[in-house]
Structure 1
Amino acid sequence: MNRPAAPATSYEKLRAAIVRGEIAPNSRLVESDVVTSFDMTRAAVRNALIRLEQEGLVVREPHRGARVRQVTDSEAIEILQARAVLEGLAVRLTAERIDKAGAERLRESLARHRALLESGDLLGASDANADLHATLLQLSGHSTAQRLIHGLNSQTVRYQYRTILIAGRPAASQAEHAAIVEAVIAHEPEKAEDAMRRHLFNVADALQRGALTRIDSVSRGVIEAGGG
Structure 2
Amino acid sequence: MTTLEPAPTTTASALTGRIRDAILRGDLAPNQRLIEADLSESYGATRAAVRTALGTLAGEGLIERLPNRGARVRALTVDEAIEIIEVRIGLESLCARKTAERLTAAQADALRALRDEIIDAVAAGDLIEYSRLNQEMDRLLREDSGHATATALLERLRAQTARHQFRLAFHPGRAAQSAPEHIAIIDAVLAQDADAAEAATRAHLEGIAALLRALD
Calculate the TM-score normalised by the size of structure 2.
0.88
Q: State the partner residue of 2:6.
A: none
Q: Deviation per CA, 1:59-113: give whole Å up to 9, x if none.
A: 1212322111111111111111111110000010000111221111111112212
Cα offsets for 1:11-45 (capped at 9, x unmatched): 33223322333322222111111111223222332
Q: Which residue of 2 aligns with 1:32?
A: 37
Q: Within 2, Cα distance between the matches of 1:160 and 1:88?
A: 18
Which structure 1 segments of 5+ residues have no match?
1-6, 211-227
Counterpart of 2:129 in structure 1: which amino acid?
G
Q: Secondary structure of 1:63's partner?
A: coil
Q: Could you tell me how far apart the structure 2 residues matched to 1:121 and 1:86 are? A: 29
The answer to whether 1:170 aligns with 2:171 is no
Identity over the aligned pairs, expressed in percent?
Answer: 43
Residue 189 in structure 1 maps to residue 194 in structure 2:
yes
Residues 1:167 and 1:14: Cα distance change in structure 2 (over 3 Å): closer
* Cα distance in 2 for residues equivalent to 1:35 and 1:134: 30
Q: TM-score, normalised by structure 1?
A: 0.83
Tell me which moved more, 80-89 or 34-43: 34-43
2:75 is aligned, of 56, 70, 84, to 70
Q: Secondary structure at the match of 2:116?
A: helix
Separation (CA, whole Å) in 2 of partners of 1:11 and 1:187: 37
Letter in 1 for 2:23: I
1:14 partnered with 2:7: no
Unaligned runs of 5+ in 2: 1-10
What count of residue pairs does the alignment treat as equivalent? 205
2:126 matched to 1:121? yes
Tell me the alpha carbon deviations over residues 153-194 of structure 1, each in whole angstroms, 9 at most, x when there is no partner.
111111222212334431221111111111111111111111
Select between 31-40 and 80-89 the one with higher mean Cα deviation.
Answer: 31-40
Instruction: Tell me how far apart the structure 2 counterparts of residues 93 and 121 of structure 1 sit (CA, whole Å).
Output: 31
* Paired residue secondary structure (1:59): strand
Note if contact 2:100-2:190 (Cα within 8 Å) is conserved in structure 1.
yes
- Is 1:95 equivalent to 2:100 in the alignment? yes
SS in 2 for 1:9: helix
The answer on whether the counterparts of 1:26 and 1:68 sit within 8 Å (CA) in structure 2 is yes
Deviations 1:191-222 (A, max 9, x none): 11111011111111111111xxxxxxxxxxxx
Letter in 1 for 2:204: H
- Could you say what secondary structure the match of 1:23 adopts? coil
SS in 1 for 2:68: coil
Runs of 4+ in 1 over 6 A off after TM superposition: none
Aligned to 1:60, what secondary structure does the other structure show?
Answer: strand
CA distance in 1, matches of 2:27, 2:79: 23
Question: Does 1:199 find its partner at 2:204?
Answer: yes
Shift of 1:48: 2.4
Q: Secondary structure at the residue paired with 1:13?
A: helix
Instruction: Give the residue type in structure 2 aligned to 1:165.
Output: F
Structure 2 residue 156 is matched with structure 1 residue 151: yes
Partner residue of 1:61? 66
CA-atom RMSD, angstroms? 1.7
